[in-house]
Amino acid sequence: MHDLTGTTDLTLLAQQAQALIEDEADDIANLANLSSLIYTSLPDLNWAGFYLYKEGHLVLGPFQGKPACVHLYLNKGVCGTAAAQKKTLNIPDVHAFEGHVACDSASQSECVVPMIVDGNVIGVLDVDSPIPNRFDHATQLFLEAIVDAYIKNRI
């Protein structure tokens, strides 16, 4: 695992995320700022962003990184599987994940957190890295806290 202790204060980043969105009601603005905060604050990422659930599948939302797949389907790839299972998937080696969708061939590891409101998936936070086994437990908890803050701000 990639240890961020001492290099990135995840508690401070979570507080910054909350401050970015607490007085803003626009979902796109909030998702854009959150993806930027994640991408520019965490080392060793090649993509950070959101897919939004629309018409039975995930559609590309605000992100930072290279151009990405526009449509992702439930039970396909890490994003679609995390959405369908309604649980975070922290994948140390995406090439070992059956059905992995390679939007960027440089990605080696991925962490996907579903965004759930009233039991329904409204999207996912997707973070990719060119480093295998990039996302330690602390980083996963941070990403989950980002999603929780976003969901609470929407209500």
Q: Where are the alpha helices (DSSP H) in the chain?
A: 10-21, 27-41, 77-85, 137-154
Look up the CATH number of domain 10-154.
3.30.450.40
Instruction: Tell me phi and psi for residue 35, to 5 degrees.
Output: -65, -35
Q: Where are the domains of the chain?
A: 10-154
> Distances from the Cα of 85 to the Cαs of 13, 36, 77, 135, 142, in angstroms?
27, 26, 12, 20, 20
pTM: 0.91
Return the number of other C-beta atoms located less than 10 Å from residue 113's C-beta: 25
Return the number of other C-beta atoms located less than 10 Å from residue 16's C-beta: 14
pLDDT tens-digit readout, 47-90: 999 999 999 999 999 999 999 999 999 999 999 999 999 999 99
Residue among 57, 64, 49, 71 at smallest CA distance from 127: 49
Q: What is the pLDDT of residue 6?
A: 39
